[in-house]
């Protein structure tokens, strides 16, 4: 089965297609709801920027129940840059490619954010973005 961020399927598998089944409804009502959701997302997330989506998973065991973006913001990382990569000013759980970012820029920025969050809150953030290839920290050893 499937649950939030979990499946019994082998994690090395990559889905290339899927068939989804939904329930029928009034197309006008469905369109209105889709537009409402898209508008709300645009108000809070950098949807017009080049991002990999939400960068860090929300912590499972933060005693204060903080979300990743709150920890990143509290660590002073909003707007932080490494090369062509930047923590979004709009929603700081998104790393943005400002146009010249390399994979190393994104990884270095993400690891800097993780380190600062750990230092300021004691919470270790987990990457939510699936990184493919050899992680930067493994290349440096």
Q: Check which CATH number belongs to the domain holding 120 and give it.
A: 3.90.78.10
Verify whether residue 5 is a known catalytic residue. Answer: yes
- Number of CB atoms found within 10 A of residue 80's CB: 17
Of the residues 49, 78, 111, 128, only one is catalytic, namely: 128
Verify whether residue 128 is a known catalytic residue. Answer: yes
Tell whether 140 is covered by a domain.
no
Verify whether residue 89 is a known catalytic residue. Answer: no
Read off the pLDDT of residues 46-60 as tens digits, 9 standing for 90 and up.
Answer: 777 788 888 999 998
Report yes or no: 113 and 77 within 8 Å, Cβ to Cβ: yes
Tell whether 14 is covered by a domain.
no
Tell whether 9 is covered by a domain.
no
Of the residues 39, 49, 54, 78, only one is catalytic, namely: 54
CA distance 30 to 106: 36
Residue ranges making up the domain that contains 125: 50-129
Report yes or no: 69 and 90 within 8 Å, Cβ to Cβ: no
**Residue 140: its pLDDT value, please?**
63
Residue 67 has pLDDT above 90, yes or no: yes
Read off the pLDDT of residues 8-62 as tens digits, 9 standing for 90 and up.
Answer: 888 888 889 989 888 899 999 999 999 999 888 887 787 777 888 889 999 988 7
């Amino acid at each position: 089965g499937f649950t939030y961020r979990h499946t019994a399927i082998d994690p090395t598998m990559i889905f290339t297609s899927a068939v989804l089944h939904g329930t029928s409804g009034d197309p006008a009502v469905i369109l209105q709801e889709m537009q409402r959701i898209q508008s709300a997302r645009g108000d809070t997330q950098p949807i017009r920027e080049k991002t990999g989506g939400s960068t860090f998973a929300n912590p499972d065991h933060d005693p204060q129940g903080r979300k990743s973006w709150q920890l990143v913001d509290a660590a002073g990382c909003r707007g932080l840059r490494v090369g062509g990569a930047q923590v979004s000013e709009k929603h700081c759980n998104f790393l943005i490619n400002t146009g010249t970012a390399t994979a190393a820029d994104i990884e270095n920025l993400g690891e800097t954010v993780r380190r600062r969050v750990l230092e300021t809150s004691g919470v270790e953030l987990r990457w939510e973005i699936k990184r493919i290839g050899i992680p930067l920290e493994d290349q440096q050893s």
